[in-house]
Structure 1
Amino acid sequence: MSTALAAPARSPLGDAVLAHLQVQLESASALLQACIAQYRAIRDRDVEQVLARMADMQAESERRGRLERERTVLLQHAAGRLGIPAHTVTLEALNTLLDPMTADEARQRSAQLRGTLNELQRQHQINRVLMKQELAFVEHLTRMLTGGAGVDDPDTYSRPGTPAAMGRPGGGAGGYGPSLRGLDLQV
């Protein structure tokens, strides 16, 4: 007869945590793939694909909003069991409620999720810079084709409420909105 102790069984909370982390990871991966596809579209100057990928990212962002609400419910449940406020629940605190195998798997999925989100943020920043460069190029071409007129020219795009008019007194946003610049790599 063996005297080895059996590993604790997985709990419904553990299953819910792992399932939630998996769905979060799939969502973040979908966002990253859309962001990479958008990079290619920007680079290829394919406006339709840029807009299509933007729509994909918007839809996934809305899904992530629902996931965040589900995460809040999980944290509130764990907080009740731990006897602490929900906003103070950490993965390590949550893992004290889980069996060791589930806790280890939760750590792994959480680390993978953080890595995916970091890569998503990096790719998004690259896309922003590339898009600003492309827009600066379009502005430059517009100036060349109009004989020097550009967004700062009072006769070009000067309807109230338009981006060019926003930077001039009386142009919108109380008359003193941000002025547009040709190339601004500040993020």
Structure 2
Amino acid sequence: MTVALAAVGPAESTLGPAVIAHLDAQLESARRLLDIVLRQGAAIRRQDVDEVLSRMTDLQGEMEHRGGLELRRTELLTDAGAQLSVAGHAITLDAMTTLLAPHEAAAARQRSAELRGLLGEIGREHAINRALMRQELAFLDHLTRLMSGTADLGYRPPVERPGEGMRVSAPASAHRLLDLEA
């Protein structure tokens, strides 16, 4: 490993500026993604269907953009891996920073920590949005059943009886026509 480091020292490498630029692009994208997810959550709470759909379109567009960022990330990892004689997929930030000047390594660590925090927040907000959407759709399903007159035939959770496996309980108004066993 020291031979690879001696061959390409931090001062000679263009990897540092490329890594910093890439992390900056990742942070910009993550900030846009967080904004979209927060705006989508607000639209869900307001039950603004058009706004929810618009944010979904924005979300898809940003995810496509992030796909391009992931390609660039793979290139950077492959380059770092080649300099360290390690497979690109095995490169960690700590390993990569050995190839960077000290100020670049510190900047990369700081940006990486910020990115991890943003991605965690995006994940939490997205999970909340999914739960809100499920709740709204369940309520819509309930209203649809009420309007169609089938509300009493709604979902009933399966009932398990010892030795019989899972059986679905019948609606209260149903009549048993056949009770067969094999």
TM-score above 0.5, yes or no: yes
Match of 1:86 in 2: 88
Provide the rounded CA distance (Å) in 2 between the counterparts of 1:12 and 1:133: 50
Shift in Å, 1:120: 0.3
Question: How many equivalent residue pairs?
Answer: 146
| TM-align CA RMSD | 1.8
**Structure of greater relative contact order (alpha carbons < 8 Å, 6+ residues apart):** 2
Conserved in 2, the CA contact under 8 Å of 1:95 and 1:103? yes
Shift in Å, 1:105: 0.3
Provide the rounded CA distance (Å) in 2 between the counterparts of 1:92 and 1:151: 59
Shift in Å, 1:148: 1.7
Conserved in 2, the CA contact under 8 Å of 1:28 and 1:117? yes
Provide the rounded CA distance (Å) in 2 between the counterparts of 1:52 and 1:9: 46
Letter in 1 for 2:18: A
Residue of 121, 124, 133 corresponding to 1:122: 124
Provide the rounded CA distance (Å) in 1 between the counterparts of 2:101 and 2:57: 40
Provide the rounded CA distance (Å) in 2 between the counterparts of 1:23 and 1:150: 53
Conserved in 2, the CA contact under 8 Å of 1:35 and 1:57? yes
Provide the rounded CA distance (Å) in 1 between the counterparts of 2:14 and 2:29: 22
Letter in 2 for 1:125: A
Shift in Å, 1:12: 1.6
Conserved in 1, the CA contact under 8 Å of 2:142 and 2:151? no
Relative to 1, partners in 2 of residues 1:10 and 1:125: Cα closer, same or farther, differing over 3 Å?
farther
Match of 2:16 in 1: 14
Provide the rounded CA distance (Å) in 2 between the counterparts of 1:56 and 1:18: 26
Provide the rounded CA distance (Å) in 2 between the counterparts of 1:138 and 1:23: 40
Residue of 24, 27, 48 corresponding to 1:25: 27
| Structure 1 moving runs of 4+ over 2 Å | 8-11, 149-153
Match of 1:68 in 2: 70
Gaps in structure 1 of 5+ consecutive residues: 1-7, 154-187
Gaps in structure 2 of 5+ consecutive residues: 1-9, 156-182
Shift in Å, 1:151: 9.6
Letter in 2 for 1:36: L
Match of 1:148 in 2: 150
Provide the rounded CA distance (Å) in 2 between the counterparts of 1:77 and 1:102: 16
Task: Look up the SS of the partner of 1:98 in the other structure.
Answer: coil
Task: Look up the SS of the partner of 1:79 in the other structure.
Answer: helix
Provide the rounded CA distance (Å) in 2 between the counterparts of 1:14 and 1:150: 65
Residue of 96, 99, 112 corresponding to 1:97: 99
